[in-house]
Every structure is written in C-alpha cells, then in structure tokens.
A and B are shown apart, each in its own frame.
Chain A
Amino acid sequence: MDLVLIAKAVGALSLIGLITSAVLSTAAKKFHVEVDPRVGAVVGALPGSNCGACGRPSCFAVAEGIVAGDVPPNACVAGGQSVADAVAAIMGAAACEMASVICARGCGGGDKAVRVYDYAGVPSCAAANRLAGGPLACAWGCIGFADCERACPFDAISMDARGLPVIDPVKCTGCGICVRECPRGHLTLLELVPEAAPIVMRCNARDKVKARRANCTACCIACKKCERECPHDAIHVIDMLAVVDYEKCTGCGACVEVCPQKCIDFYGHRPGVDAVAADGVGPDVETPANVAQEA
C-alpha cells in the first residue's frame, strides 16, 4: 500500500471538488437572476407535475412565460379551467375559457389484431414501431407496450387484458402527452376529444377495407349502418372510416347498437349499455362512479 499515493489522490480530488463547489456556490449567488415574484405565485397555482403538455419543459418555465406575457394564462392544459382562473387572478388578466378535452383510444384491435412477426425486443411501442413499422399487420393499430401508460403523468392510463390502454376519464386531464408519446399518436390512435363526447370510434385504419379486414377482426368495415341509423346525422363514413361529429352527437347509442364490428363504443362505462361492456369491446374503464351506477 502506497499511503503517500493514496493521500495524494484523495488530496487532488478533494482539492478539485472544493474549488469547483466554491466556484459553483459563488456563481449561484453572483449570477442569481432576479425573478418576478409573480412567477412564484403562478408556479404555486400550477399543478406542478412538470408534465410538459403546454410545450414548455417545466411548470416553472411556463410560469415565466405567463408572467412575461409570451403565453396566455390558460396555457396549462392539464390544469383546466380552475388553474386558468387562478393564474388569471394572479396576473390580473381576464379569465379565459378552456376547451375541455379528454383522451380517447381509437383502436379496438388488441388481441384481435393480426401480428406479422413476433417482437422480442425492448418492450416499448416506440422501439417496436421502428422495427418494420411494428409487429401488427395494421399500420394504425395499438402495439400495446404501454408507452402511453408510462408517459401519463396523471396515472390515468392502464393496460387491460386485451393489451389495449384504457383511460380513466376522471383522472385524464386531456394534457395530450400520451398522444405525443404514442408512436401512432399522429395517426390518431390516441386522440383528444371533447370531454362531453359520449361516443368514440375504436378504429382509425385508413387502408382499404379488404386489407383492413385481413389485419384485424375489430375494424371498421365502412358498412354505413351507423350513418343510416344515426337520428342526429352525427356519424359519417368518410374515406371508408366512420367519423363521429361531436358537434351533433348526443350519445344516444344508436350507432353502437347497430355496428356489426363493435368498433363504435361509448366513452367509459355508461349506464344502460351493459351489453356493450359484456361484448368484449369493453368499457373504457371502471370508475367508482360507474360501478356505483351499475349497482
């Protein structure tokens, strides 16, 4: 044992550590940037989960933006109306309306979707999607490795037995992070719909119907039954895919009943539609409120 060498090594590292920490702590004081006191107040009003849904890296960054006037007081997507009001009060600005949105899954494939190869790599949708467009035959379907579940800062998404994400409409704030994290989010596999939206499409494939049917047994086959059945003219088959018009939809469920593929679904588990829940298309999630209603 060379004690002198050890002492030298310890001494050298301690010296470097001491100098750098001294420099850093001095710098932290010397280069301290004066922050507008309102920034602190706005940070306090924001949810503080640093979810990034507003497009800024942190709640602090968006608070700075709000105080500087770069972004409107309702920039916090996740916080919704109450946070927007609180922030507007701090800023002395007029309250702004928030468009209330919530996330919906546009795929009912799961175990009904055909796989073209066995994926044995990193269990992440992003990685699987990079390998020849993912193991699913359908280029629009849910790969099912739960990138959205991991990304959700509000713990609103969980994977069900079919390998599909189910979204808790109570916890979901409509921040849209899952939509961005989903490698197929830009294909509207996950999409933001109005919070009051009662009906969602569980298929977003845009290839030919014949190819679609070969890829998945839960796809929209563009039969137009929903379009004919809808009493409110609120669902239309556009480019061989049924699309719900949320301006007109009342959630009566006529389309849900008539759909032969069961790919039109109620959002969440609505009362009086137990047949749908039992069918395997499934409710989006069992929330305490829904369970209570069922009982």
Chain B
Amino acid sequence: MSTISQFALLFIGGALINNILLTRFIGLCPFFGVSGNMETSMGMSLAVVFVMMMASTATWVVWEFVLAPLGVGEFLYIPAFILIIASLVQFVEMYLRKASPVLYRAMGIFLPLITTNCAVLATATEAAKPGFFKLNIPVGASLSLGQALIYTLGVSIGFGFALITFAALRERLELAAVPRAFKGSPIAFITAGLLSLAYVGFSGWFGL
C-alpha cells in the first residue's frame, strides 16, 4: 500500500470510522459539557487539535526512545504519558502566554482543562502504542512518527467535527418544541445517540 493511501486511511479511520466521541465514546464529558454553545465548542475543538498533536509527538518520542527500549512501557505507559502530557500543556501555556497572547486568549480556559482529558490521553497512547482501537490498517505493529501525527490529526479533527455538529444541534434544540418530559438533558442524550448511529454508518468504508 502506498504511503499516501496509508495516510489517507489513517486520517479517515481516525476522524470518521473510529470517531473518538461517537463510536469510541471517549471524552464524553466535554461532548456534553461544552456543547451548549457554538463558540465554546469551537474554542475547545481548536485547543484539542493543538494539544493532541503535541501530546502525540511527545508520547511517541518517549515510547520509542525511553519506555520501549527499557522494556517497562507495557505497565508504565499510563503514568508516564499523563506526566508528559500534563507538563507539556503547562509548558505550552507558558510559552503561548509569552509568545502569542492572542492565541493564549483564544484557547483561554480550555488549555489547562484538557490537560487530563481522557480523549487526549487515549489518542496520544494510541499514536505511540497502537492496539486499543484495533485500526484495521496494514501499517504494522507500530506507527512511524508521520503516521502517528496524521492519525492524531484525524482523531482531533473528528473530535472537533462531532463536537461542533452536536453544539449546532443543541442550539437548534433550544428553540425546538420539545415535549416537557424530554426537555434538557434527555433530548440531548437521544440526539447524541442518533448522531452516534449515523457515525456507525461509516464503518466498513474502505474496508476499515
């Protein structure tokens, strides 16, 4: 399989077929927590793309050069990755504050909030140490750094796409004539379920 088509499959596999929110059900707290309005969900999506890309790079490097060679990765990867991601986000926050106050303000509260987000941890882990999501892509047991980054980009964009879609739906629901018994969270859960059903429809594309 050519490199380009492998990259394309990794991207689509991460973004749509294995959508982290709607078919893997990881990171559901922001999915319901910040999807109340469009603006916050966009800020969150931007921050997630940003943090996931960096986190995957860092965990991939640590896995490849520290954890795997020492043979301690299998049981140490979760604490190690949490440590790395948390300090990385702190570092980036400091850097952004100095270098780009505009970007710092745009991401605002979301940067520190997603330090310990499970979606970020899951994606960074999957990029460094594939296996959990059982991606049916013939790329071997581990991803190269380029593949890991493309995969992470796919996942984070899939996250943003699902979150923004859901926020748009919920903004519409605010105005819809919902029966009283379903008002509020119940109709949001039902909507999320239907949206998830729609995403299941992607499975099987390109043999993924």
- 19 chain-A/chain-B pairs, Cβ below 8 angstroms: A5-B71, A9-B72, A9-B75, A12-B72, A12-B80, A13-B79, A15-B66, A16-B66, A20-B84, A23-B91, A24-B87, A24-B94, A27-B91, A31-B97, A31-B98, A32-B98, A33-B98, A57-B109, A132-B183
Choice from A23, A31, A131 contacting B185 with Cβ under 8 Å: A131
State which residues 62-78 of B face A: CB under 8 Å: 62, 66-67, 70-72, 75-76
Q: How many residues of A contact B (CB 8 A)?
A: 25
- B72 touching A31, Cβ below 8 Å: no
- Interface 1/0s, chain A 1-34, versus B by CB < 8 A? 0000100110111011100110110011001110
Distance between Cα atoms of A44 and B67 in the complex (Å): 47
In the complex, the chain A residue whose C-beta lies closest to that of B95 is A31
Which of A13, A21, A27, A32 is within 8 Å of B80, CB to CB?
A13
Contacts of B185 in A (CB 8 A): 127, 130-131
Q: Is B142 an interface residue (CB 8 A)?
A: no
B87–A21 CB distance below 8 A: yes
When chains A and B are docked, how far (Å) is the Cα of A133 from the Cα of B185? Answer: 10
Q: Closest approach, in angstroms, between the C-beta of A38 and any C-beta of chain B? A: 18
Q: Mark A217-258, 1 if CB is under 8 A from B, else 0.
A: 000000000000000000000000000000000000000000
Whose C-beta in chain B lies nearest to the C-beta of A31? B98
- The size bracket of the interface on B is 20 to 34
In the assembled complex, A124 has its CB within 8 A of some CB on chain B: no
Which of A11, A20, A129, A132 contacts B186 (CB under 8 A)?
A132
B181 interfacial by beta-carbon distance below 8 Å:
yes
B184–A131 CB distance below 8 A: yes
A130–B189 Cα distance when bound, in Å, is 11
Task: List, in ascending order, chain B residues with CB within 8 A of A15's CB.
Answer: 66
Q: Please determine whether B181 and A132 come into contact, CB atoms closer than 8 angstroms.
A: yes
